[in-house]
Amino acid sequence: MTEPSRVSPPNLFAMVAFLGIAAFWSEVVLGALPLTAAAKLLQTVTLAWGVKCWADDSIGASHDYARGIAAGLAFSIFGDFLMMVGTHSLRTPALAAGTLAFAFTQIFYTRALRRVGSRPAPLLLAALPAAFAALAASGRVTLRMPVPLAAGAALYAVLLGVTVAHATAGGRNEDLPFAARRAAAIGAWLFALTDGLLPIVVFGPAAGIAVPHLGLWVYQAYIVSQCFFALSAFRLRSTEV
């Protein structure tokens, strides 16, 4: 059996929540967008660090699973940064690079889910990626997304759909703790929801859709999805020797 981890999940989530409050305060009250961006990035960094430490203190399948989630979170940090720093002149390259970073996040999440035995039915594995890709590609028409970004979003949506399919299938895997598989499924679907709203945040204002602080709300919902992925790792603590 492994030794107690250096990480306290309640304390970790409390820190993430505190940073979320700081992000809201700095944007809504202070209007300090650089401070908001820093607080938001630190949320993902905190989760990645916590899950990485948990992986180091675990063994067997739970070690591999937590390491995969930590790797996915690490790529999410790069994706978050690239999505935030794009100026008008660099907007398309930054968004494309950020999408690529999140594609690696989905690859690592899927690998982690497969490591613990999540195998979706062929129909689910085909239907979800196809549906997600179609919805992503529709942004070209509804939100006037540039063709390269719409194509990239559709390809990314395929990987996202694969992750969601595996997490959904894992929810029925009786070999895994119920709390772990439920957390992964909730995290995956919430991640998909926030990704679906992201094009509205980025391209909505130009298409006449403007919701105050929508980006901040969507980002915090995305952080909650990442918290559920982290929670799935914490609930999968292995006792293998």
Radius of gyration of the chain from Cα atoms? 18
pTM: 0.89
Q: Answer whether residue 241 is part of any domain.
A: no
Confidence band for 1, pLDDT divided at 50, 70 and 90: very low
Domain count of the fold of the chain: 1
Is 158 inside any structural domain? yes
Examine residue 150 and state whether it is found in any structural domain, yes or no.
yes
Mean of pLDDT over the chain:
86
Quickly list DSSP for the chain.
-PPPPS--HHHHHHHHHHHHHHHHIIIIII--HHHHHHHHHHHHHHHHHHHHHHHHT--HHHHHHHHHHHHHHHHHHHHHHHHHH--TTTHHHHHHHHHHHHHHHHHHHHHHHHHTT----HHHHHHHHHHHHHHHHTHHHHS---HHHHHHHHHHHHHHHHHHHHHHHHTT-TTS-HHHHHHHHHHHHHHHHHHHHHHHHHHTGGGT---TTHHHHHHHHHHHHHHHHHHHHHTT-----
pLDDT tier, 107 (very low <50, low <70, confident <90, very high otherwise): very high
pLDDT digits (tens, 9 = 90+) for 12-25: 999 999 999 999 88
pLDDT for 236 equals 83
**Would you state the pLDDT for residue 196?**
87
Mean pLDDT of 8-36: 89
Residue 240 lies in a domain: no
pLDDT at 230 over 90: yes
- Provide the pLDDT for residue 239: 37
Is residue 41 one of the residues assigned to a domain?
A: yes
Give the other-Cβ count within 10 Å of 178's Cβ.
Answer: 11
Residues with Cβ within 8 Å of residue 122, at least 6 apart in sequence: none
Q: For residues 66 and 58, is the Cβ–Cβ distance under 8 A?
A: yes
**Per-residue pLDDT at 152 exceeds 90:** no
> Is 176 contained in some domain?
yes
Q: Is residue 4 part of a domain?
A: no
Higher pLDDT, 241 or 116: 116
Let me know if residue 166 belongs to a domain.
yes
- The whole domain housing 59 covers 9-234
